[in-house]
């Protein structure tokens, strides 16, 4: 019985280490909807803290955890009049982190649901994810 308990404890510990190690060595882009801020971390080190714009009234920015699914240096929104979306990082359905030219709106809710960044910051994040790899990146959106 003791060996079964020890084996189970070892499996739980190993699982926790592997789960923690995936993000600890990788990149995390954490968006706080209440603060309208993105914190970018590599392992346990905070690299950047940037103002963002997320969904304004009548729209939603989904909460959750995802890995980027595709990236485009320049994308144009087919849904919103071919609006430019520089340095797009798609992470859930049609939702993306991308640059915006409406920089005066950063720090408050203003988008149709995407996470908007200053174009310079979007370019930095895009490059980091290209370097580290989307599989080693986590996008987290919280309240």
Domain positions in the chain are: 26-142
- pLDDT, tens digit only, all 143 positions of the chain: 555 444 444 444 444 444 444 445 699 999 999 999 999 999 999 999 999 999 999 999 999 999 999 999 999 988 888 899 999 999 999 999 999 999 999 999 999 999 999 999 999 999 999 999 999 999 999 99
**Looking at residue 54, what is its pLDDT?**
98
Judge whether 127 and 54 are in contact, CB under 8 Å: no
Question: Quick one: fold of 26-142?
Answer: L,D-transpeptidase catalytic domain-like (2.40.440)
**Looking at residue 16, what is its pLDDT?**
40
Element (H, E) at 120: helix 119-132
The vertex-46 CA angle with 43 and 51, nearest 5°, equals 130
Q: Tokens representing 55?
A: 């969904």
């Amino acid at each position: 019985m003791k060996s079964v308990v020890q084996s189970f404890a070892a499996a739980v510990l190993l699982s926790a280490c592997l789960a923690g190690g995936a993000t600890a060595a990788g990149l995390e882009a954490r968006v706080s909807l209440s603060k309208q801020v993105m914190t970018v971390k590599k392992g346990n080190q905070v690299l950047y803290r940037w103002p963002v714009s997320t969904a304004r009234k009548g729209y939603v920015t989904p909460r959750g955890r995802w890995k980027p699914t595709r990236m485009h240096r320049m994308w144009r929104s087919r849904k919103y009049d071919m609006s430019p979306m520089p340095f797009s990082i798609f992470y859930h359905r049609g939702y993306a982190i991308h640059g915006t030219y409406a920089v005066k709106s950063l720090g408050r809710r203003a988008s149709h649901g995407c996470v908007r960044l200053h174009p310079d910051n979007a370019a930095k994040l895009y490059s980091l994810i290209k370097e580290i790899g989307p599989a080693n990146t986590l996008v987290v959106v919280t309240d």
